[in-house]
Structure 1
Amino acid sequence: MPAGVPDLGPGGARDRPGGRLGAAELGAEPGERATLVQFSSAFCQPCRATRRILAEVAAMVEGVAHVEIDAEERLDLVRALGIEKTPTVLVLDAAGRIVRRAAGMPRKVDVIAALGAAV
């Protein structure tokens, strides 16, 4: 993978206790098959591009939702998940388990590939 491109690798050890994120944590309904969760901040330029990429992928794949969370408004969740920068993307499976995570702006092809682990 080229330098600077985030790896949508396995969720890691900092996943939430219980290992699941649902509508209560996300502030929105998760997708039936998978959910792309994006942590953003107001003045983050890469967050805007990431928003477009994730929205396009969610529109392409039936049952996949894109949920954007303002990191500054949800510091509790940011701390619980070990989010250190924006954008950070989490890929959740149908049960709300984190199966992949990446910090930085992902490539569309990597997001699509990461969905394979979730659906």
Structure 2
Amino acid sequence: MRGQGEEHRLGPADLGGELGERATLVQFSSAFCAPCRATRRTLGEVAAMVPGVTHVDIDAEAQLSLVRALGIVRTPTVLVLDATGRVVRRAAGQPRRADVIAALGEAL
């Protein structure tokens, strides 16, 4: 992971899909992660409610170099990216919808 003061920016090549017009919710999942399914549902619902927000689900096992570069140590881990792909928030574990909406406030 990059040191303090350095920021992470992710683009379409990293995500395997386009950035949201206003923000992107990036979820790192693994095949046998039960909380990942609930997180996928929550993030999908929030992305559908907020215009310009996209949800991208990344298989952590298939993207090990990205996982290592970002210091992802458990699934689910959620990153909130602003419109430029800059990571503005991150959280490990299953998030509550209200927390996701609040975190989006920093990106919008």
TM-score category of the 2 structures, normalised to the smaller one: over 0.9
> 1:50 pairs with 12, 36, 39, which one?
39
> 2:77 pairs with 88, 93, 102, which one?
88
Runs of 4+ in 1 over 2 A off after TM superposition: 12-15
> 2:63 pairs with 74, 78, 90, which one?
74
Of structures 1 and 2, the one with the larger relative CO (CA 8 A, separation 6+) is 1
Structure 1 segment 78-117 matched on structure 2, within 5 A? 78-117=67-106
Q: Which residues of structure 2 form unaligned runs of 5+?
A: none
Length-normalised TM-score, structure 1 = 0.86
The residue aligned with 1:39 is 28
Q: Deviations over 1:97-117 (max 9, x none)?
A: 000000000000000000000
Aligned length: 107
The residue aligned with 1:22 is 11
Separation in structure 2 between the aligned mates of residue 115 and residue 70 of structure 1, nearest angstrom: 22
Q: Which residues of structure 1 form unaligned runs of 5+?
A: 1-11
In the TM superposition, residue 52 of structure 1 has moved relative to its aligned partner by 0.3
RMSD: 1.7
Length-normalised TM-score, structure 2 = 0.94
What one-letter code is carried by the residue in structure 2 that aligns with 1:81?
L
Separation in structure 2 between the aligned mates of residue 14 and residue 65 of structure 1, nearest angstrom: 27
The SS at the match of 1:91 is strand
Separation in structure 1 between the aligned mates of residue 65 and residue 2 of structure 2, nearest angstrom: 17
The residue aligned with 1:4 is none
The answer (yes or no) to whether the contact 2:89–2:103 under 8 Å persists in 1 is: yes
